[in-house]
């Protein structure tokens, strides 16, 4: 069984219109090369490290093995919000 067969496929995709916590979450995964938490956990088998106070993602492992470290606060700039893809798995 290949790894691709266990990666969940999204049912739909929309672009973000304005910043929100959901957009921030998607931004951090997409910077690291993933569609979302479902794909990350399926590929890496790791829990997502989060900041305790804000709940935002703290660290992600990229597909090439390197790491992305994120701040406690918002990182998605306003100019990039419209580029963020919001995937739905329902």
- pLDDT tens, 28-85? 999 999 999 999 999 998 899 999 999 999 999 999 999 999 999 999 999 999 999 9
E-assigned strand segments in 1-90: 12-15, 49-50, 57-61, 67-69, 85-88
- Does any domain span residue 53? yes
pLDDT of amino acid 1: 45
pLDDT of residue 2 exceeding 60: no
Q: What predicted TM-score, i.e. pTM, was given to this entire model?
A: 0.88
Report the DSSP pairing between strands 49-50 and 12-15: unpaired
Q: 4 in a domain, yes or no?
A: no
Residue 23 domain boundaries: 11-88
What's the number of domains the chain is made of?
1
Q: Of 82, 85, 10, whose CA–CA distance to 42 is shortest?
A: 10
* Residue 6 within any structural domain of the chain: no
Buried b (16+ CB within 10 A) or exposed e, 20-47: eeebbbbbbbbbbebbbbbbbeebeeee
**Residue 5 in this model has a pLDDT that exceeds 80:** no
Task: Assess if residue 78 is contained within a domain.
Answer: yes
Q: How confident is the model at residue 7 (pLDDT cuts 50, 70, 90)?
A: confident
């Amino acid at each position: 069984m290949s790894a691709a067969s266990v990666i969940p496929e999204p049912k739909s995709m929309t672009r973000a219109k304005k910043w929100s916590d959901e957009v921030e979450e998607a931004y951090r995964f997409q910077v690291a090369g993933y569609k979302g938490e479902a794909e990350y956990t399926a590929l890496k088998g790791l829990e997502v490290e989060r900041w305790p106070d804000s709940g935002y993602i703290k660290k992600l492992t990229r597909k090439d093995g390197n790491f992305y470290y994120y701040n406690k606060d918002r990182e998605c700039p306003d100019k990039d919000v419209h580029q963020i893809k919001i995937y739905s798995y329902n």
